[in-house]
Amino acid sequence: MEVKIIGGHGGVTRNYHATSYLVDEELLIDAGSVAAGLDIQDQLKIDHILISHAHLDHTKDLAFICDNCFGLKGKPFEVYTHPTVRKAIKDHLFNDTIWPDFSILPTPDKPTITFNDLENEKEIILGKYKIMPIHVAHPGDAMGFIVTKGEKSILFTQDTGPTDRIWEIGRTRKDLVAIFSEVSFPNRMQNIADLSDHHTPASIGAELLKMPKDVPVYLGHLKPNYQEELLQEIADLAEPRVHALYADDVRFNF
Ligand SMILES: [Zn+2]
Ligand SMILES: [Zn+2]
């Protein structure tokens, strides 16, 4: 499986884009920068979109891919997410005030985007992929995902504070080849990280002990204003299996 980091950050600046990971150019995980970071012809190749939670840095480009690809795709973007997240996106983004309701445009029976509900720990199959959604510790019924294709699985927590269940399930997966998780704030901001259900290098360091052993760990969602500090503190963990997603528009093959 290839994972392209379209945007791997927890914020937006000229150089850094919000969270969107693309698996094999067809399965999108979060939509923080999929419109800003891909050409329209590549946006059109995406059929299935997993949304971890409703926060804007994971959803805002749903608005712009619908606008870009309107009338060009021949079938809707199929979004899969928790019902709480679906409701938030429909009520607050595609609500005909902030943005047109592309779930009924151009017509209700041929929309640009369709929403499908995920249930916690109920596996679904999307084409070549098996997806296991698992609740993590972040507001609004946020979920992480274990994505399996053939004999390999990749675990994506997306935004979360300290959590247990996804690691418990991850430890049973002998086919796990990579873990993508997050670190948002430097250690001096542990209080903010705790209040907002995010990690610092110190708390992800403790979390590593719960993760499946010997699997490489990629940490994204660095807040752009703290990137340098975060990189130093991640290096100070001295964990050879940990890699920081300091740059966007990079690809990893597993
Ligand atoms: Zn986020
Ligand atoms: Zn969030």
pLDDT computed for residue 214 by the predictor: 94
Q: What is the CATH number of the domain that holds 24?
A: 3.60.15.10
DSSP E strand boundaries for the chain? 2-7, 20-23, 27-29, 48-50, 77-81, 106-107, 110-111, 113-117, 124-126, 129-135, 143-149, 152-156, 176-182, 217-220, 242-244, 250-253
pLDDT computed for residue 58 by the predictor: 98
Walk along the chain (254 residues) and give the pLDDT tens digit of each residue: 999 999 999 999 999 999 999 999 999 999 999 999 999 999 999 999 999 999 999 999 999 999 999 999 999 999 999 999 999 999 999 999 999 999 999 999 999 999 999 999 999 999 999 999 999 999 999 999 999 999 999 999 999 999 999 999 999 999 999 999 999 999 999 999 999 999 999 999 999 999 999 999 999 999 999 999 999 999 999 999 999 999 999 999 99
pLDDT computed for residue 242 by the predictor: 98
pLDDT computed for residue 140 by the predictor: 97
Q: How far is the CA of 159 from the centre of ligand 2 (A)?
A: 5
Domain count, the chain: 1
Q: How far is the CA of 116 from the centre of ligand 2 (A)?
A: 20
Q: How far is the CA of 39 from the centre of ligand 1 (A)?
A: 23
Q: How far is the CA of 53 from the centre of ligand 1 (A)?
A: 8
Q: How far is the CA of 60 from the centre of ligand 2 (A)?
A: 12
- Residues having C-beta closer than 5 Å to ion ligand 2: 55, 159
pLDDT computed for residue 167 by the predictor: 98
State the residue range of the domain holding 41: 2-253
Contact 117, 86 (CB under 8 A): yes
H helix runs in the chain, sequence order: 34-37, 40-43, 56-69, 83-92, 165-171, 190-195, 201-207, 227-236
pLDDT computed for residue 103 by the predictor: 97
Q: How far is the CA of 133 from the centre of ligand 2 (A)?
A: 16
Q: How far is the CA of 96 from the centre of ligand 2 (A)?
A: 24
Global confidence as pTM: 0.98
Q: Which of 183, 147, 185 is nearest to 30 (CA)?
A: 147
Q: How far is the CA of 18 from the centre of ligand 1 (A)?
A: 8
